[in-house]
A and B are shown apart, each in its own frame.
Chain A
Amino acid sequence: MCDIAARPPGRAACLLMQSKFIPYLLVLPLIAFLAVFTYVPIGVSLYLSVHTWDFLSPDMPFVGLANYAELLSSYDFWNSLRVTTIFAVVSVPLRLGLALAVASYLSRQTASARILRGALFLPSVTSAVSIGVVFSWFFSTDYGFANALLHAIGLPKIAWMQDPGVSLGVLIAVNTWKQLGYDVVIYVAALQAVPRELYDAAAVDGGRRWHVFRRVTFPLVMPTTYFLLIVSVIDAFQVFTIVDVMTEGGPAGATDVLVNMLYRVGFTLFNIGTGSALAVLLFAFLIVLALLKARVIGQKVHYEA
């Protein structure tokens, strides 16, 4: 590391640089914060998940795996898992399919492509609360935009957020609208990295557009697709804000996604043990996904937008 050791000023610098405590001091703040607010909490969650507590009692009896058993035998947990799975299974292909289709049109370096990319991208960096509020209005039964449109073409009103059969679909649509731009930007970057010659070669072969897409584009962006697949599944399993703003998990649990259930069990029912058990289960599941993602891209990158 210190190949300038021969020269006197360098030697001093080297000594300092290699002095044991400098790098530790540099990483200490980060490690301390991560330890206190990320690593210790995992242990605390595990501990709480085998105890029963309501925030009030002075004692916290050990109950073994009873909280896990209670969770796995409850209607709510399976309902939540079902709702979250539907959310993921519908919204992930929708997001990726739309994004790839859109991106293949918008990967050109033209003004129109740039404008559209910007418009699509904007919602992904705005707050989910605002988006949730705006769409609560958009889909409100009596004074919303969506029903005004239906009315204009002579169709009856739909109770978008009050009908258990519709509300999850509304949330999926809103989430897709919000996150689409993120996926598009990543696809565009991937597409722009595809060497021009490959397209030209395919074109020379007389390939039509669809043919070129299927034979050249699609395989080349496969790693990106896989990355986005896992990112969006992780997103889907952590969705909370738009749910809390728009439906609070209702009506009748129709949108009670897992993190919403966690919040409800923890901070309205105050079953701290059961809530922690749920957090641990969800954690285990997401870790598996994250490890998959890490393998896919060869290095461990994750960012929550």
Chain B
Amino acid sequence: MLATLRRILLAASLSTVALASAAQAAVTVEFWHSFDGSSGKALEQIIGKFEAAHPDIKIDAQDIGDYNAIVAKLQAAIPAHRAPDAVIMEVTRYGLFADRGVLKDLTPYLDADPLKGQLFDYAREAGIYKGKNYIIPFNSSTPVLYLNTKLLKEAGIDTVPELKTWDEILKVAQTVTDKLGSQGITGIAAPGQFARWGLVEDNDSELIDPRTNDILLDAPGTIAAYQWMADLVHKYHVASPDGVTNEAQGEAEFTAGKVAMMLNSVGDYGGVRQAVGPDLTVVPMPCNKVCRVPIGGAGIGIVAASDKAKQDAAWTFISYMASADANATWFAATGYMPINKNTAAVPVAADALKTQPALQVSIDQLPFAVGRPRPVVVTWMRAKEYTMWQAMALGQRDVTEAMKDFATQTRAEAAKSN
């Protein structure tokens, strides 16, 4: 009886699907992304250009939320067969989906596309999982240090100081908090997850060993990095806990002129510049023990379950999104690094580089920027890291104890999921 019922329901739903798709002549590619605000507008503009050049392809672009939201939505969508055709995936979190066969292997597409020779090596590498291309880079970034020079001046710091070590950063943060704390201004935003990973590398350690995939969450350098970050909030009170519970809130407070320093992705530069104006200065990440920054950002993948026509259309779209033309518009509007070797030659990008020297900061970090490992467990680890970080930063758990526990759990999860 139940089987019959299910079959009837299934038939009914299938027939509506069939009707809906028959009504559309052009191929529509459902595309999930994570850009709102000024980057959302830039994306819209690029997609508009693409659609004008390809009248037979419609891009149904949907802003799903942040990278976490995309991962969660995509994972929930798989058993439900409601995944999109193309999807933006963050560079450390697509391994799970590549491994489970959710993402299509794009190697054949890329091999046949002149794009292959145009991509910077660092960018192309970010899309490779176990030797195959699963995502094509769209937006690449490194973390940088954003400064509000107006607040620094108000705190008596007239020239941008040397900010190479954590001690130097802490000192500036303390000065600002001491001088301006009564006005509700704090020295530094609590670092977001990308910056946290960056600071771990800055301390010559890793979360996961890029070669062996060993879990290094309880390595001394990692623990020390988390200890320092948690201390910013809990011990020195130079970072507001608001940014701990809500990462976006930390950034919002910087853009609102209530925080003097922020470690964040260069990809947010466009939006931050609009909000902060001429008081904004961007400097490289510190080099506490070593100079090393993680490469972040995302690329676009194609869902394996989509039908061939949609996959082909999606590839046309992806290839365009990584082209010099699209990439130049994107780079100039956001601050994400160029991924295409020809981008810098496009006028809009060349102009941007001239007028916004800050864009160069991130590019200058490339020689010591490293690709991060992307085994299956990273997706889980990054989802879990938020609660662990909150517990440490708000003083609910001892950092060493929490990181050891986190490492143990992640190893268990890795054993289960691989």
Contact of A52 with B416 in the complex, beta carbons under 8 Å: yes
* The residue from A32, A56, A74, A141 contacting B78, defined by CB atoms under 8 A apart: A56
* A→B interface (CB under 8 Å): 32, 35-36, 52, 54-58, 63, 70, 74-76, 141, 159, 162-164, 249-254, 256, 267-271
At the interface with chain A, which of B96-104, B166-174, B266-274, B321-329? Answer: B96-104
Contact of B380 with A70 in the complex, beta carbons under 8 Å: no
* The residue from B101, B244, B383, B397 contacting A269, defined by CB atoms under 8 A apart: B383
* The residue from B76, B78, B405, B413 contacting A75, defined by CB atoms under 8 A apart: B405
26 A-B contact pairs sorted by A residue (CB < 8 Å): A32-B5, A36-B5, A52-B416, A54-B96, A55-B78, A56-B101, A56-B102, A76-B387, A159-B242, A162-B241, A162-B242, A163-B241, A164-B395, A250-B390, A251-B390, A252-B245, A252-B390, A252-B391, A252-B396, A253-B387, A253-B390, A253-B396, A268-B383, A269-B380, A270-B76, A271-B380
B412 interfacial contact with A, CB 8 Å: yes
Q: Which residues of A lie under 8 Å from residue B101 when comparing CB positions?
A: 56, 58
Contact of A269 with B394 in the complex, beta carbons under 8 Å: no
B62 interfacial contact with A, CB 8 Å: no
Tell me the bound Cα distance from A268 to B79 in angstroms.
15
Q: Find the residue from B100, B241, B387, B413 having the highest chain A CB count within 10 A.
A: B387
Tell me the bound Cα distance from A162 to B240 in angstroms.
10
Using a CB-CB cutoff of 8 Å, which residues 114-153 of chain B contact chain A? none
Question: Can you name the residue of chain A whose Cβ is closest to the Cβ of B79?
Answer: A55
Minimum C-beta distance from B409 to chain A (A): 7
* The residue from B5, B75, B245 contacting A55, defined by CB atoms under 8 A apart: B75
Contact of B76 with A269 in the complex, beta carbons under 8 Å: no
Tell me the bound Cα distance from A184 to B97 in angstroms.
52
Tell me the bound Cα distance from A76 to B388 in angstroms.
10
Q: Which residues of A lie under 8 Å from residue B397 when comparing CB positions?
A: 75, 252
- Beyond A252-B396, A269-B383, list 20 extra A-B contacts (CB 8 Å): A32-B5, A36-B2, A54-B100, A54-B417, A56-B100, A56-B101, A56-B102, A57-B100, A58-B101, A76-B387, A159-B241, A159-B242, A163-B241, A252-B387, A252-B390, A253-B387, A267-B76, A268-B383, A270-B72, A271-B380
Q: B interface, by DSSP: helix, strand, loop or mixed?
A: helix
Q: Find the residue from A52, A63, A250, A268 having the highest chain B CB count within 10 A.
A: A268
Contact of A270 with B391 in the complex, beta carbons under 8 Å: no
Q: Which residues of B lie under 8 Å from residue A54 when comparing CB positions?
A: 75, 96, 100, 417
Contact with A along B1-40 (1 / 0, CB 8 A): 1100100000000000000000000000000000000000
Minimum C-beta distance from A252 to chain B (A): 4
Q: Which residues of B lie under 8 Å from residue A164 when comparing CB positions?
A: 394-396
Given contacts A56-B75, A57-B100, A268-B72, contact A253 B391 (CB under 8 A): yes
Q: Which residues of B lie under 8 Å from residue A70 when comparing CB positions?
A: 412
Contact of A55 with B76 in the complex, beta carbons under 8 Å: yes
Tell me the bound Cα distance from A268 to B75 in angstroms.
9
B41 interfacial contact with A, CB 8 Å: no
Tell me the bound Cα distance from A141 to B252 in angstroms.
15
Contact with A along B64-85 (1 / 0, CB 8 A): 0000100010011011000000
Given contacts A36-B2, A52-B416, A56-B96, contact A251 B244 (CB under 8 A): yes
Tell me the bound Cα distance from A32 to B289 in angstroms.
65
Contact of B245 with A250 in the complex, beta carbons under 8 Å: yes
Tell me the bound Cα distance from A54 to B418 in angstroms.
11
Minimum C-beta distance from A35 to chain B (A): 8
Q: Which residues of B lie under 8 Å from residue A253 when comparing CB positions?
A: 387, 390-391, 396
Contact of A267 with B390 in the complex, beta carbons under 8 Å: no
